[in-house]
Amino acid sequence: METTLVLLKPSCVQRQLIGEIVNRFERRGLQVAGMKMMQLDDNILREHYAHLVDRPFFPALAQSMKASPVVAMALRGVEAVAVVRGMTGYTNGRKADPGTIRGDYAMSNQQNIVHASDSPENAKIELERFFRPEEIFEYNHALLSFLYATDER
Ligand code: UDP
Ligand code: MG
């Protein structure tokens, strides 16, 4: 099992799509292992988007991520990182495939609804960035035997 980090960005929260996006992850079979609303600030954003701080669009990106609270989620499943990235779609919503979250809800390269960790290594780092250990739960997933074959779990 892997756990991955998703942020429902201000573009999701403001457009009142929280329930709709959470529903997509739950329907896929991902377990919600942690979830909370939080207001991001420049410190956490400079860390989270360290690969982008020198890009000209970074100030606008930071502004867009501070425009309202976000919802941080820890999602668990087999190969959860790759599954969630696949569901997220290409960064630019205008180029993202229909059927992906960005391809279904976004028209923007920046206001693109969700963040999702891009590798298991980064998922671990990002989960620690947004959650305290006791905010991520291990609990029985009653439907597990109907979500996966025995040798997949
Ligand atoms: N972003 C932007 N302009 C760009 C590229 C990215 O505003 O030209 C924003 C966008 O919100 C994106 C985030 O920066 O989701 C992180 O960029 P990254 O390349 O890591 O894309 P992601 O992993 O989110 O698809
Ligand atoms: Mg990224």
Counting ligands in written order, the one closest to the CA of 62 is 1
* pLDDT tens sequence across 111-148: 999 999 999 999 999 999 999 999 999 999 999 999 99
Q: Which residues does the annotation mark as catalytic?
A: 115
Q: From the CA of 118, how far away is ligand 2's center (Å)?
A: 6
pLDDT at 11: 98
The pairing of strands 31-38 and 70-77 is: antiparallel
Question: 109 CB less than 6 Å from ligand 1?
Answer: yes
| Cβ 77 vs Cβ 31: under 8 Å | yes
Q: What dotted CATH number matches 2-138?
A: 3.30.70.141
Percent helix, strand, coil in the chain (nearest 5)? 45, 20, 35
Question: 2 CB less than 6 Å from ligand 1?
Answer: no
Question: 110 CB less than 6 Å from ligand 1?
Answer: yes
Sheet arrangement for strand 31-38: 31-38, 70-77, 2-8, 114-116
| Cβ 3 vs Cβ 80: under 8 Å | yes
Question: 61 CB less than 6 Å from ligand 1?
Answer: yes
* pLDDT tens sequence across 19-76: 999 999 999 999 999 999 999 999 999 999 999 999 999 999 999 999 999 999 999 9
pLDDT at 34: 98
Query: What is the band of 86 on the pLDDT scale with cuts at 50, 70, 90?
Result: very high
- CA distances 42 to 7, 36, 56, 61, 109, Å, are 16, 19, 16, 11, 20
Q: From the CA of 146, how far away is ligand 2's center (Å)?
A: 32
Q: Computed over its alpha carbons, how large is the radius of gyration of the chain?
A: 15
Q: From the CA of 49, how far away is ligand 2's center (Å)?
A: 8
Domain boundaries, the chain: 2-138
Q: Which atom of ligand 1 is nearest to the CA of 90?
A: 25
